[in-house]
Chain A
Amino acid sequence: SQQGEEDPQALSIQEGENATMNCSYKTSINNLQWYRQNSGRGLVHLILIRSNEREKHSGRLRVTLDTSKKSSSLLITASRAADTASYFCATDGTGGFKTIFGAGTRLFVKA
């Protein structure tokens, strides 16, 4: 079964608005990562947050992690049409190098 589950499955917003995607997971983790996939391409790593961190920023991205609720959120501020893509959360279990991906959120940013 999937370790990470994203919510919502799809999101449509206007350019300039903020986009928030959520991820829930089931077991203990070492870290949680977010990846982006443009249509027809491979995944690209965006940001990693470790299990002992609560919030992390990278440019227009803000990630939070709540290990007590086994959940994370990805916020993209001031979205652009170029942010249109699928976003996936991924978790590394405490066992190490086996990364499990969720089903993803499809984000569509209208210009």
Chain B
Amino acid sequence: DAGITQSPRHKVTETGTPVTLRCHQTENHRYMYWYRQDPGHGLRLIHYSYGVKDTDKGEVSDGYSVSRSKTEDFLLTLESATSSQTSVYFCAIRDSYQETQYFGPGTRLLVL
């Protein structure tokens, strides 16, 4: 998986609780992405980062925040989880010179 890990891999939580997902890379790539995958929607971009402390919104960013305090870690936080945020979350990395992305194994999140 190109030196990219996600934690936790599975999580069950209750509506209204905060949740933080972690993406860790060992490749020192500049760009990092968070996507969610739902049936019939493919992958939808939540947030992305183009450097330490440099982040921007994707197409489905409402209810999510991110932080990147060091190159290797990109955190996705659901401030107050809702059932509509039940999904599989994928992190991806990309370097400055290649257009291809490398994906982590995903995190399955169930919000009850």
Contact = CB atoms under 8 A, between A and B. Distances in A.
Given A42-B1, A43-B90, A98-B48, A88 B43 contact: yes
Main secondary structure of the interface of B (DSSP, over half): strand
Contact of B42 (A33, A40, A45, A104): A104
Interface residues on B, range: 20 to 34
Nearest to B38: A103
B22 interface: no
A42 B99 contact: no
Nearest to A103: B42
B100 A43 contact: no
Given A97-B50, A98-B48, A101-B35, A43 B43 contact: yes
Interface in B50-87: 50, 58-59
B99 to A, nearest CB: 5
Main secondary structure of the interface of A (DSSP, over half): strand
Contacts of B92: 42-43
Contacts of B58: 98
A78 interface: no
Interface in B23-49: 31, 33, 35, 40-45, 48
B4 to A, nearest CB: 8
Nearest to B101: A99
B42 A42 contact: no
Contact of B43 (A45, A97, A101): A101
Contacts of B31: 97
B45 A45 contact: no
A1 B41 CA distance: 10
Interface of A: 2, 4, 30-31, 33, 40-45, 48, 88, 90, 92, 97-104
Given A33-B100, A45-B101, A48-B99, 8 more contacts: A2-B42, A30-B99, A42-B104, A43-B90, A43-B101, A88-B42, A97-B50, A98-B45
